[in-house]
Structure 1
Amino acid sequence: MVRRFSPHVLRTVTDLDGVWDFAYLGDVDPDDVALDDLAFDDAMAVPGCFDATPAYAGRRGLAAYRTRVLTRAGRQRLVFDGVQHWCRVYWNGRPIRDHAGGFTRFWAETDAQGGEAEITVLVDNRFGDRSPLHMEHFDWYHFGGISRGVELHVLDGVRIDGLEIDTLSVAERRIEVRIGYTAETASAPLTIECDGRALLAESVDLDPSGSITRTLEIPWAAPWSPADPNLSLLTVTLGEDDQRERFGLREIATANGRITVNGEPVRLLGVNRHELHPQFGHTQPESLVVADVQQLRDLGCNFVRGSHYPMDPLFLDLCDESGILVWSESIGWQYPVEHLTDPAFVDAQLAHIDEMVAAARNHPSIILWGVLNECPSWSEDGRPVYAKLLGRLRELDATRPVTYASLNAHDDQCFDLVDVVSANTYPGWYFGGLADIPAELDRIAARVDALGHADKPLIISEIGAGAVPGWNDAGGSLWTEDYQAALLATVIDHITEGQDRISGLGIWVMGDFTTTEHREMALKRPRGLNDKGLVDEYRRPKQSYRVVRERFRR
């Protein structure tokens, strides 16, 4: 797992990224698999998506990964940053954890003696009841595999399970620190340092599991903001275990129709971003992540929406450093009402949201939590689900606004449930022409205000047009780079100069990406890609890139 800082110094951590043994099993029920009978006849990169490799491109089925590691005796915690879509983890042939849903961190634990251990992971990229969050009709290709990094942590009798840092007051440089733990002893020494300075040293009584909360002041720390993204490093030691987290002093709020950072209103100008690549699937090599952030900065973006799932931790680290504001949302795309109201689906979403927030809440760049992109927020049956999921986000983190991207702002019934109203719309593409764009944007704003939400920030969370890379004609017709550039120029000019109600823009989308093989969708996508990107799938800029760059950097 590549991060921009080391989360542990004292804890024994082994990086398991590399090349694992691999076997593609195909259309097999995981419950019917006998590990001793598996023939590992290939190798696979971890992290990586097996169905993005030449030998297994486009295949859906069960696969098996295997590696071996030397470890000392103790509690073994296998930490996965993301597996697509369902997996079962084995330690020396014994199952220790099932997990469903990609893009979020989870762990599997067991007690073990020291020596060599064999780790096997069954990975299933098929659609079905085992993984209710992933559906074939989604407008992106669901790659499968151990798509993000893996580590082995060896734990002692006292172990830190989570570390949360919230800003209580920027002006007074005051933070609240919460330490989740599991303990096999009744007490342990606790120390907290920030930026190498001692803040606290004491002995604490411990329950078998629980949390410790402390309020601390760091008077030397400078606030974090998009213009000046100052970061601090907090180190907690509890017994023989430790946890380190980067954070920034900053307060996010809404006021007078704007999102504010440390009391200052900001207008969000940015893009949506998928984590997809033709050669790597959902896996994000470090060089690709760095290049993406460089392009965001070059464009003049101060905002990016993670579409439509939680982003890679390294990407968030780089956004923290660059002052790029992030909307982080749970996985979803146009779930039908009957799926949205299935109790198993709701439970899976709640678990996914819990993991998303736990992994990312300390990133100062994240200013919004979101759920359920383009789902039935227009439906009476859908409303209780929105209320439940948004409510869970507020329970987990009361310091950030919550939102969702509405598919049809004119019929939406859930805007009262959010702090920030967000609308996806495609005038000039799916309906109307270029001349109709300003009026449609104004009509959405008027609708939101008429519902009594004039005080809430309004974000146009998706808008754009397709462009086949390199294609132009004399008429500037649909699918040409000329047309895409003209449409986005019209959008940006109106939002930045033609009105003052819309407080944020997320262009759809940063880069072209592979879409589903579902025939109804594939027939609408030239080259099998959603090609509304400012850059193509290999990050080569289209004409629209320069048009957006010129306007965002004014």
Structure 2
Amino acid sequence: MKKTEFSLANCMALARTLWSSTKALTIALTLIALNSARAQQAVLHNAYARDFESLNGAWHYIVDPYENGYYDYRYQPFDQSENPSRSAFFMNSKALDKTDLIEYNFDESPTMNIPTDWNTADEKLFYYEGTVWFKKSFSHSQQEGKRYFLYFGAVNYKAEVYLNGEKLGTHVGGFTPFHYEVTDQLKEENFVVVKVDNKRAKEAVPTLNTDWWNYGGITRDVKLVSTPNTFIEDYQFVLEDMNSKTVQGSVTLTGNDVASKPVSIEIPELKVKESLTTNAQGIATFNFRAKKMTLWSPESPKTYQAIIQSGDDSLEDQIGFKSIQTEGQKIVLNGEPVFLRGISIHEEKLGGGRVSTKAEAKQLLTYAKELGCNYVRLAHYPHNEHMVRLADEMGIMLWEEIPVYWTIDWTNSETYANAEAQLTRMIQRDKNRAATIIWSMANETPVRAERNDFLTRLATKARSLDPTRLISAALEQSYDPNDGNIRSIDDPYAQVVDVLSFNQYTGWYGGTPESPRLVKWNIDIDKPVLVSEFGAGAKYGFHADKMTRWSEEYQAYLYQETIEMLNRIEQLQGFSPWILMDFRSPRRVLPGIQDNWNRKGLLSEKGEKKMAFSVLEKFYQEKAKQ
């Protein structure tokens, strides 16, 4: 469980009284580790189920490459002054008379439909990295006994948020939700201004160098969420024992008076109804059995309506229950070994641009289902919540990842804090999603002591937040110095993870499509192996012989040979080839072939199937019958 503030004594007593199994004790002890996380990061769980006013739609914007709207001519931030200048863009000033000098005007500036990325919304900003200001005006009718929160699904990368000229705060990280309480700042007529800066930085997560497009903007939904004065801040359901169908969990209230409050949880289909009472910290725990429960799986993605209620607040969610663990070299779902028939996906929609709607997310997952996938790797950052909730509905297991990508600033304490915050928010948001089976800490990071410590701390944090899912990271293969065809995994972090995952591109970055025939794998670690990436580039419609790079034939041939090679790995429990669909990347500049697109997709950016799509589809069809 998560989001609790029990003392050690209370936790141990609760564990002894209610639960006897080792697993249950582990989950109960997790409550202790969550104290600091809850104190550091406020929660507004399940924003989509709450009462809210959408602030999506037309926002006025101003492009500000010199950040003149943020700094004065001495390069001092306007928002650090007690009396900010009317020249500061967040003041949303207007000329008072014909003599007044104001050198900006949001209401006369163009508009952009939020959520979106500015790179595809305004062709002049296609390559732009820098600051863009956004402003939205809205009316509001305050209701007595209500609290209000300004909620952002994600803003890439750094957001400075202001309401009615007053700063609410700064958020760093382009793929996780955040919010501010604005109950006391709201008026009948309001304006919110957001300074968005997507410039890359060495100390950032991700850092300067990536292989995807740095889409800037307010890329996910914006809401004005309303709650009662005391409301359900967070909740979690955990399948503690698969055989007895025992579920345990917690509900956390927040407000001025949270002690000794009644809480109820109800799952009508399972005839579960529990009446609870919060402790002094506003936390109520529960434990029940539901023998008629159907466990969630790709073949039967069963979820149940759960109703959580306390006082004037009520939330509903669709909850699926499943067990995921490893047994030796097997990945085990609900007690049965499972082969992960996967594909990697970037959060990029048809034609390019950041996914921002439920329909766009569903299109990508529908392609994956058509391919025969029961599993998807969401690379290389937390995707839109729509994607995760749809995976619950559609029966697709998920690998979720934070953008600790390639080489970041391993010794910088602020960089680590940033990575841990993104990990924490991802787990907080998606902890009740049955589809998620793996939390990934990183992708293709170099082996060194500082990196090993950094990633180990992240894994420890993830396990403290959620001991019920698997931990992994996309590592790299190693080569025998005496025989380059003998491959292994020589990485101390392999001892930390639950699932041994690695990326390999034999036949693309070195060699030809026939090179995989020579490879021998020597993996002596007794853990499941999940190949997180393999693939080759091909431009849709370019046909040649199977040894011609960039042809569909080359890609299809390499897929055939790679699948044969990987099947020789004894511990192989699945893979997620790179990648479902072509996506934009500034690293990919070959004229007439790449043109700023990574061409490793099985689909073109328009959704057209390349020959390799059928190769993988056929393999998955056969695998599903086994």
**Deviation of the 1:470 alpha carbon:** 1.4
Q: 1:195 to 1:22 in 2, by over 3 A?
A: farther
Q: Distance in 1 between matches of 2:394 and 2:134?
A: 36
Q: Who is 1:419 aligned against?
A: 498
Question: Could you tell me how far 1:293 is from its partner in structure 2?
Answer: 1.5
Task: Report SS of the residue matched to 1:485.
Answer: helix
Amino acid at match of 1:368: I
Distance in structure 1 (CA, Å) of the matches to 2:105 and 2:582: 37
Note if contact 1:253-1:259 (Cα within 8 Å) is conserved in structure 2.
Answer: yes
The equivalent residue for 1:469 is 540
Q: Where does residue 530 of structure 2 map in the other structure?
A: 459
In structure 1, the partner of 2:67 is 28
CA distance in 1, matches of 2:167, 2:545: 62
Q: 1:195 to 1:83 in 2, by over 3 A?
A: farther
Counterparts of 1:530-549 in structure 2 under 5 Å? Answer: 530-549=598-617
| Paired residues for 1:75-474 under 5 Å | 75-112=147-184, 115-128=188-201, 132-185=204-257, 186-195=259-268, 199-200=272-273, 202=275, 204-205=277-278, 207=280, 210-277=282-349, 281-336=353-408, 339-376=409-446, 378-409=447-478, 410-440=489-519, 442-443=520-521, 446=522, 448-449=523-524, 453-454=525-526, 456-474=527-545
Contact 2:267 2:273 in 1 (8 A): no
The structure-2 alpha-carbon separation of the partners of 1:198 and 1:230, relative to structure 1 and needing over 3 Å to count, comes to: closer
Instruction: Give 3-state SS (helix, strand or coil) of 1:155's partner.
Output: strand
Checking the alignment, whether the CA contact within 8 Å between 2:147 and 2:183 is kept in structure 1 is yes
Contact 1:163-1:245 at 8 Å conserved across structures: no
How far apart are residue 313 of structure 1 and its match? 1.4
* Partner Cα distance (2:351, 2:62) in 1: 20
2:598 maps to 1:526 = no
* Cα distance change on mapping 1:171 and 1:359 into 2, 3 Å: same
Change (3 A) 1:516 1:71: farther
The Cα shift of 1:357 comes to 0.3
CA 1:19–1:217: 2 relative to 1, 3 Å: farther
Report if the CA contact (8 A) 2:514-2:558 is conserved: no
- Cα distance, 1:75 vs. partner? 2.5
**How far is the alpha carbon of 1:226 from its aligned partner?**
1.6
Percent of pairs with identical residues: 26
What runs of 5+ residues in structure 2 fail to find an aligned partner?
1-45, 71-76, 79-87, 94-103, 479-488
Kept after mapping to 1: 8 A contact 2:270/2:290: no
Which residue among 501, 504, 507 is the counterpart of 2:571?
501
- Matched-pair contact (CA < 8 Å) for 1:52–1:58: no
What SS is found at the alignment partner of 2:492? Answer: coil
Displacement of 1:189: 2.7
Aligned residues: 531
Residue 494 of structure 1, CA deviation: 3.9
User: For residues 95 and 278 of structure 1, do their structure 2 counterparts lie closer, same or farther at Cα, with a shift above 3 Å needed?
Assistant: farther
Residue ranges of structure 1 left out of the alignment (5+ in a row): 1-5
In 2: Cα distance, 1:284 partner to 1:550 partner: 31
Matched to 1:466, the amino acid is G
CA separation of 1:393/1:71 partners in 2, compared to 1, >3 Å: closer, same or farther?
Answer: farther
What is the distance in 2 between the residues matched to 1:408 and 1:178? 41
Question: CA–CA distance in 1 between the matches of 2:370 and 2:312?
Answer: 44
Deviation at 1:191, TM superposition (A): 1.5
Which residue identity is paired with 1:427?
T
**Amino acid corresponding to residue 413 of structure 1 in structure 2:** P
Contact (CA 8 Å) 2:306, 2:318: kept in 1 or not? yes
Alpha-carbon offset, residue 7 of structure 1: 6.2
How much has 1:482 moved relative to structure 2?
0.3
Q: Distance in 1 between matches of 2:319 and 2:584?
A: 34
Following the alignment from structure 1 to structure 2, what is the Cα–Cα distance between the partners of residues 202 and 266? 37
1:84 CA drift (Å): 0.5
**Cα deviations by residue, 1:386-417 (Å, 9 ceiling, x for unpaired):** 11011111010000110000123444221111
* Range 273-282 or range 252-261, more displaced: 273-282
- Structure-2 separation of matches of 1:283 and 1:71: 32
* TM-score between the two structures when normalised by the length of structure 1: 0.90
Q: Does 1:39 align with 2:105?
A: yes
Question: How far, CA to CA, are the matches of 2:332 and 2:270 in structure 1?
Answer: 30
Q: Partner of 1:98: helix, strand, or coil?
A: strand
